[in-house]
Amino acid sequence: MFEKIKNLIENAREDVIELQSLLVSIPALAPESGGEGEMRKCEALVEYLRRKNFPEPEFYHAPDNRVPGGKRPNLLYRIKGRNDSRRVWIMSHLDIVPAGELSLWKSDPFKLRVDGDRIYGRGVEDNHQGMVASILAAKAFIDLRIAPEYDLCLLLVADEEVGSEYGIKYVLENHSLFSRDDLIIVPDSGEPDGAAIEVAEKSIMWLKVVTRGVQAHGSRPDLGRNAFRAASNLVVKLEELYKKFDRKDELFQPPYSTFEPTKKEPNVPNVNTIPGDDVFHVDCRVLPGIPLLEVESAIRLWANEIERKYDVTIEFAFSQKAEAAPPTSVDSPVVRALSEAIKTVYKVDPRPYGIGGGTVAALFRRAGYEAAVWSKLNEVAHQPNEYALISNIIGDALVFSHVCLNRI
């Protein structure tokens, strides 16, 4: 049966171009990004799949009064399998990020450009590649009238790019769709050789540091308390976090925790004023097993010393603070099934790995479900001239088909 499916999918180049053209042409931006949500894109996709003989979808829309119609779309397509003991889930997201600086694009980001094996446009890799590949796999089962071993469930969700409150987080909190025996695949991260299966993520802490002193004229520092100077001392001190929390885990890339000062907010607009306030941010990605409270406490201790030395106050705030989710076992059914399929299709030896970034797989893992993040990607998401390879989309569709055909 796999050979039949393989022959059909390998000749689906025009299907890929047709569907990617449709998806790219309808920007699906969250309100936080200046958009109206994903509903227009959802409705166009439903109509497209209806013409391709897909079953009618189930809807699990999340209420959001900031968008036209007041809803953010989450939809599910089920392809009935021979065995109802578990389901294979492939979850991709409908939303995209803004195009960014248009002058950096060589073509209209919202009109598909085809150049041999490459297709260009905002969203073609993140996350249309996973979406189109999963649809190709499902379409092959429908067209050939072959039942997968287990139900194949395509879950297409909103809001991944800005937090998933109206997407998979809403679905998990409000609907009982998943079971512990299900295979859950999130095609939203990967490497160019297709071998990497993401099974774990680091803890994440985004720390905002606000230093308050006293503003003064640049010629009279004795009358002020320089918040910028004090904050800069703390920035330098943060380097010691790498020594204090130096544990390594080769599962991750990089194999150690990272603590990087990043965003620096403006303080005073002119050269000859000593700033009374200063704000900077720190991005911490911490290996599982190291409590974030220990990292915060170390920074707080240094901040207290600097407060006393410079007679300033230093306040902390957090825009993100989440302990690492339990990892997916490298021996879990979803990892084993993916590994076998990747070997068959891409002729490489799969390898589980962990990342410092965050994916929605963490939400599944915290809810008690083992999920794997996988795709064969060139890692150009969010960049100008974002592109995907048609051959990767077709190959990923073959991997998904292989997973769905075999009993675990």
Distance CA 298, CA 285 (A): 15
Q: What are the backbone angles phi and psi of residue 59, rounded to the nearest 5°? A: -115, 135
Distance CA 402, CA 236 (A): 51
Three-state DSSP state, 28: coil
What CA dihedral angle connects 309, 310, 312 and 317, to 10 degrees?
Answer: -70
In order of 89, 181, 193, 315, 373, the CA distances from 407 in angstroms are 15, 13, 26, 55, 20
Alpha helices in 216-360 (DSSP H): 227-237, 241-244, 292-310, 333-346
Tell me which of 95, 149, 159, 386 is the catalytic residue.
95
Tell me which of 160, 182, 188, 278 is the catalytic residue.
160
3-state helix, strand, coil in the chain (%, to 5): 35, 25, 40
Confirm whether 56 is a catalytic residue: no
Q: Please say whether the beta carbons of 282 and 259 come within 8 A.
A: yes
Q: Token pair 């391709």 is at which residue? A: 52
**How many CA atoms, within 13 angstroms, populate the side-chain half-sphere of residue 2?**
14
Distance CA 157, CA 184 (A): 14
Q: Please say whether the beta carbons of 143 and 8 come within 8 A.
A: yes
What CA dihedral angle connects 116, 117, 123 and 126, to 10 degrees?
Answer: -160
The pair of structure tokens assigned to 48 is 């497209």
Q: Please say whether the beta carbons of 189 and 182 come within 8 A.
A: no
Confirm whether 95 is a catalytic residue: yes
How many other C-beta atoms can be found within 10 angstroms of the C-beta atom of residue 107?
A: 12
Active site residues: 95, 160
